[in-house]
Structure 1
C-alpha cells in the first residue's frame, strides 16, 4: 500500500515537473533546486 502511494507521489511530481519545463522554462532552473 505504501509503495503505491510512493509511486503516485513520484508520478505526480514528475508530471508537475514536466508541466513546468514546458510551461515556464525560465522558472524551471530555479525550481530544479527545490526538487
Structure 2
C-alpha cells in the first residue's frame, strides 16, 4: 500500500476502495464458512 500511495498522491481513494473490497470479501468468507 505504501508504494502505491507514494507513487500517486491521488491513489488514496484507490487504496480506500481496495480496503473496502478486502473487508467485504472477508465478511463474505466468514458468512460462507
Larger Rg: 2
TM interval, short-chain normalised: 0.5 to 0.7
Task: Within 5 Å, give how 1:1-35 maps onto structure 2.
Answer: 1-24=10-33
The higher-RCO structure (CA 8 Å, 6+ apart) is: 2
TM-score if structure 1 supplies the norm length?
A: 0.62
Q: Which runs of 4+ in 1 moved over 2 A?
A: none
How many pairs align?
Answer: 24
Structure 2: which 5+ runs fail to align?
1-9
- Provide the TM-score with structure 2 as the length reference: 0.65
